[in-house]
Amino acid sequence: MARKALLGNVTDNDLRLLRVFRAVVACGGFAAAELELNINRSTISRHIKDLEIRLGVTLCRRGRAGFSLTSEGEQVYASAQKMMASMEEFQHEVDELHRRLTGSLSIAIFDKTATNPQCHINRAFARFDEEAPEVQPEIYVEPINAIERGVMEGRFHLGIIPNHRPSTSLDYYKLFEEQMYLYCAAGHPLFDATAAKLTAANVRKSKYVGIGYHSPNMEITRKLGQQRHATAYDQEAVAHLVLSGKYVGYLPEHYAEGFVNRDVMRPLLPDVFQYVCDFSAIVRHSPPPNRVVQTLLDALVAAHA
């Protein structure tokens, strides 16, 4: 005898409850979601309880310890994200039948790119807004691996990342470059070192902070024989450890420039300890980008031509 599905058909009310749940997770709790949803906390709590009853699982924990998802809640949230992305994709495709550019567009960008003089993402957004004024962009700043995974799963329509290892599931469009140097800060033994002491061997002996996921940073660390003593997951975290005076780490030249001008950081042997990142826009290889995504992609390529 066939087992009856617990959920059954997904109704409009189910979608409404899932949107409330998604907003609560994105905001980090019931109180923060009040402004986003424009409904009071007791109503939000009732909606989440209704969804838990509907799904037959406990989605989240709330109380003095704060808001957190259960393992089942994390799975439901991930599935809801995929479903909402598919629905938005459907909306875009229907709108294309009427030649309208509407809806929302999720874009994920690697951190600390705005100060790069070669980066013209702002120009692309300006052009995109002129061509698609009704589309509402949603911008996320994420690590490389999260951006790639999000684009592959359809949670992000487009990503902008430094190239490291290409995937056959993605299409890449080169945009700009970023120069990386190894820095130390005031208080570090090498900050005021003489030329005689500032050797590659002494640099390699210094405690080094590296990025903790596969990236160009990880590749250059292996190539130049540097051993990681601390792990960071974005450029801001690297900067904080470098500024402690205890670590050396790679930072974008444009980002570190302000610290260098204030004489609190310096690059170390820039002819040796350096690398260049190529940044690309990425989209799923299949299905091909819809007209909204293609419009932004064209604007990005044109802005960096």
Angle at 23 between CA 104 and CA 152, to 5 degrees: 55
Kindly state whether residues 249 and 214 are assigned to the same domain. yes
User: What pLDDT does residue 85 have?
Assistant: 79
For the chain, the straight-line distance linking the first and the last C-alpha, in angstroms and rounded, comes to 62
The angle that helices 253-261 and 235-243 make with each other, rounded to 10 degrees, is 30
Domain containing 259 equals: 177-276
Kindly state whether residues 272 and 194 are assigned to the same domain. yes
Mean of the per-residue pLDDT values for the chain?
89
Instruction: Indicate whether 96 pLDDT > 50.
Output: yes
Question: Coil, helix or strand for 236?
Answer: helix
Dihedral-angle region of residue 263 (phi above 0 means left; psi in -120 to 50 means alpha; beta otherwise): left
- Residue 165's CATH number: 3.40.190.10
User: What pLDDT does residue 218 have?
Assistant: 87
- What is the C-alpha to C-alpha distance for residues 63 and 68, in angstroms, rounded to an integer? 9
Question: Considering the domain boundaries, does residue 165 fall inside one?
Answer: yes
Domain-terminating residue out of 78, 104, 131: 78
Question: Considering the domain boundaries, does residue 57 fall inside one?
Answer: yes
- The residue among 216 and 35 whose pLDDT is bigger is 216
User: What pLDDT does residue 5 have?
Assistant: 46
Question: Considering the domain boundaries, does residue 6 fall inside one?
Answer: no
CA-derived radius of gyration, the chain? 23
Give residue-wise pLDDT tens across range 259-281.
999 999 999 999 999 999 999 99
**Which tokens is 85 given?**
């992305």
Question: Considering the domain boundaries, does residue 32 fall inside one?
Answer: yes
Kindly state whether residues 162 and 291 are assigned to the same domain. yes
Kindly state whether residues 285 and 142 are assigned to the same domain. yes
**Which tokens is 243 given?**
């500024």
- Name the β-bridge partners of 251: 181
The mean-pLDDT minimum among 3-12, 18-27, 249-258 falls in 3-12
Element (H, E) at 107: strand 104-109
- Residue 207's CATH number: 3.40.190.290
Kindly state whether residues 23 and 65 are assigned to the same domain. yes
Cα dihedral 188, 192, 195, 200, rounded to 10, equals 10
Kindly state whether residues 149 and 235 are assigned to the same domain. no
